[in-house]
Structure formats: structure tokens, C-alpha cells
Chains A and B, each alone.
Chain A
Amino acid sequence: GAGVSQTPSNKVTEKGKYVELRCDPISGHTALYWYRQSLGQGPEFLIYFQGTGAADDSGLPNDRFFAVRPEGSVSTLKIQRTERGDSAVYLCASSLQGGEQFFGPGTRLTVL
């Protein structure tokens, strides 16, 4: 596809469960970003990859959150022992280095 895609579009899980959220960036984009947007708030930075490595993971809220990008393309955001406070829309963006960030449609995570 032409844009950033994220799957699933919606995820409902129970408190304490493990979830994985996937992001497919625009082909050729070297940089990939994860953000979290709670209701009524602006997106909150989580982590930024340049290639396969995390260039800045200082936005991850705690050690229950982890993200990987093993081949420098697709990325997975992993959340362990989910809590109700993790409910939000998780946004992924990609860019050519230094260029405009293109955002995906997001994954809406609901933790019951």
C-alpha cells in the first residue's frame, strides 16, 4: 500500500493480558515512530527507530512496553500485563530520515 498501515484497527483485551500491535511503514522509510493518544489529548511520543535500532525509547512509560523492528521495516509494539490505563489509540508514523512523518490510522486498544 501507499501509506502506513496498522493492524489490528481495534483490539479489545482483558486486564493482565499480553497484546501486540503491528505497524507497516511506507516502503523505504528508514525512521519509524510510535505514539499513544488518549481521549482528548495530543499524541504522546513512545519510541523512535532509525533502521533496526531504537534511537530514542525514552517515551516508553514502563518496562511493560517494548517495541521491535528486527529487519528495519515492520515494527511491533508489545504490551505485557495490560492495565485499564493502557487504553488509547496507538499511532505509528514513518519518515525518510529528517523528513515529514506520515501517520497511520492507529490501533484502538481497549483494556477491560
Chain B
Amino acid sequence: AQSVTQLGSHVSVSEGALVLLRCNYSSSVPPYLFWYVQYPNQGLQLLLKYTSAATLVKGINGFEAEFKKSETSFHLTKPSAHMSDAAEYFCAVSRAGGGADGLTFGKGTHLIIQP
């Protein structure tokens, strides 16, 4: 079965600093990987996805993630944090390796931005 592990339930960075949220996956098939963001009292929103094309994926709001098969990782980064980035971030993997399947989510990382 596919799974993801998010390292760090809380990450705190200063405004303007690099954001790095870690995600490692386990998959028996070539994975489809996703990052979602959940702002307070709002629904989940897709940030970016990897579907076996380019290994460096660019998403919305300046975020990007790099698929590294050798490390089974899909870490999310942003060069310069903004106060509006404060939210809960979830890494997810497609349950059966395809794009139409349900997703298995990690437990989430709460990103705190210090002024």
C-alpha cells in the first residue's frame, strides 16, 4: 500500500526565510504525488502535483517540489516565506499509482511564519 510520512508536525520560519516541508513516500508502483494546503476554515487546495513528467514541479504561490526517487522524497520549498503562507500543508500519494484514484494523505505540517 502507498503511504507518505511528513517529518515535523510544526515548522516555524521567519518571514522572508526559506520554507522547507519534508515528505517521504512509500509506493509499490510509480507514484503520483501531491501537496495540498489548508488555510484556517477553508477547504483543501492543490498546490502542485507530480505525475511522472518533470521531477521539479512548480506550483501556485511560489511553491515548488522536487521528486527524488533515490531518496523517496517529495519535499516542498519556497524561497521566501510570506505571512500569508501560514497554514496546514499535506503531502499525498495516489492510492493505486494512477491519477484517478483516491489519495493517501500524511498527517500534515503546520507552517508558522514569524514576523
Min CB distance B97 to A, Å, is: 12
A45 touches B44 (CB 8 A): no
Question: Among residues 83 to 112 in chain B, which have CB atoms less than 8 Å away from a CB atom of chain A?
Answer: 90, 92, 95-96, 98-108
A100 touches B108 (CB 8 A): no
Tally of A interface residues using CB under 8 Å = 29
The CA of A98 and the CA of B106, in the complex, are separated in Å by: 21
B102 touches A56 (CB 8 A): yes
The CA of A4 and the CA of B99, in the complex, are separated in Å by: 19
Cβ of B42 < 8 Å from any Cβ of A?
yes
B95 touches A101 (CB 8 A): no
Known A42-B108, A43-B105, A56-B95: A97·B46 in contact at CB below 8 Å: no
When A and B form their complex, what is the total count of cross-chain residue pairs whose Cβ atoms lie within 8 Å?
A: 58
Cβ of A14 < 8 Å from any Cβ of B?
no
B49 touches A100 (CB 8 A): yes
Question: Among residues 1 to 47 in chain A, which have CB atoms less than 8 Å away from a CB atom of chain B?
Answer: 4, 31, 33, 35, 40-45, 47
The CA of A47 and the CA of B95, in the complex, are separated in Å by: 11
The CA of A31 and the CA of B100, in the complex, are separated in Å by: 8
Q: Across the interface, which residues of A come within 8 angstroms of B95, CB to CB? A: 45, 56
28 A-B residue contacts at CB 8 Å?
A4-B43, A33-B102, A33-B103, A35-B102, A44-B105, A45-B95, A45-B102, A45-B103, A47-B102, A48-B102, A55-B100, A56-B95, A56-B96, A56-B102, A93-B44, A95-B100, A97-B100, A98-B98, A98-B100, A99-B99, A100-B46, A100-B49, A101-B46, A102-B46, A103-B45, A104-B43, A105-B42, A106-B43
Cβ-closest 6 pairs across A and B: A42-B105, A98-B99, A45-B102, A103-B44, A48-B102, A103-B43
Chain B interfacial positions (CB closer than 8 Å to A): 36, 42-46, 49, 90, 92, 95-96, 98-108
Chain A interfacial positions (CB closer than 8 Å to B): 4, 31, 33, 35, 40-45, 47-48, 50, 55-56, 59, 91, 93, 95, 97-106
Q: A40-B107, A50-B100, A56-B96 are in contact. List 9 more A-B contacts (CB 8 A).
A: A40-B108, A41-B108, A42-B90, A43-B105, A56-B102, A91-B44, A100-B46, A103-B36, A104-B43
